Amino acid sequence: MNLLVGCPTARRGWILPRWAEHIDKAAADAGLTPRFIVLADPGDDAWHALKRYDDRLTRIVVTEPRHDGLRDWCTPGRLAHIIDLRNQLLTAVRAQAPDVFLSVDSDMLLHPATITNLLETLADFDAVGGYAYMYDGHACPSWGRILSGGALDRVDMPGYVGPVEVIMAIKAMTPAAYAHDYTAHPKGEDVGICLAWRDAGVRVGLDARVTSKHVMRRDLLDLVDERCGF
């Protein structure tokens, strides 16, 4: 199987070596050697951080006007920018035409069983999300459903494997899924692409058998997160 893994990134050199190591470990557990695809500014620290992967890395170099690390992607201007970056990445993914594209945000460290589980569940879906917590506590896991008023409802349900409406942060996509662009939504571009998938009949699932680690700040990198066990 041809597995391509990547994301856009900005000023995440402090975590990217660990990000890639966790992906390599999870892929090896599935019997695979992944290729990487990363989009970043020409002066970004990503390129130095990922230098050891040069023989497996596709570099997409773009101008990123912000380098302060602020997480304000849902403001209109920044949302339009991240949608553009993610769609540039998808264009490059389509050119490589992998069997599976695994989008893993650059602040996510995969549990070793993540890729094995996602590929197994992809037998029944076109796109499958991995499980992580987007904020502190357990109130915001990496999946959701759209309520009638447009709000995003999320409930913690570790261990669940089955259909959902929205996945985010860790998304395994077959060609049927990565053929579609990200689109705008008040709750973010992940919701936008999931609604585009729904309209197109793309089957979306979640595999929450293991939990990956969301490292929102540098000082949390080496601390054990009890929610995932590492």
* Percent residues over pLDDT 70 in the chain: 94
pLDDT at position 209, please?
98
Please tell me the least confidently modeled range out of 8-22, 31-45, 145-159, 167-181: 145-159
Report whether 62 contacts 68 (CB < 8 A).
Answer: no
pLDDT at position 68, please?
53
Q: What is the mean pLDDT of residues 38-59?
A: 98
Q: Is the pLDDT of residue 174 over 70?
A: yes
Q: What is the mean pLDDT of residues 149-162?
A: 92
Q: What is the mean pLDDT of residues 10-24?
A: 98
Measured CA angle at 166 (ends 64, 67), to 5 deg = 15
62-91: pLDDT as tens digits = 987 655 555 454 555 678 899 999 999 999
Q: How far apart are CA 209 and CA 198, in angstroms?
A: 24
Q: What is the mean pLDDT of residues 173-198?
A: 95
Report whether 177 contacts 69 (CB < 8 A).
Answer: no
pLDDT at position 149, please?
77
pLDDT band at 187 (very low <50, low <70, confident <90, very high): confident
Q: Is the pLDDT of residue 57 over 60?
A: yes
When the pLDDT of each residue in the chain is averaged and rounded to a whole number, the result is 94
Domains of the chain listed by start with CATH number? 3-220 (3.90.550.10)
pLDDT at position 78, please?
73
Cα dihedral angle (43, 58, 197, 117), rounded to 10 degrees?
-110
pLDDT at position 71, please?
46
Contacting residues for 150 by C-beta, under 8 A, at least 6 apart: 186
92-140: pLDDT as tens digits = 999 999 999 999 999 999 999 999 999 999 999 999 999 999 999 999 9
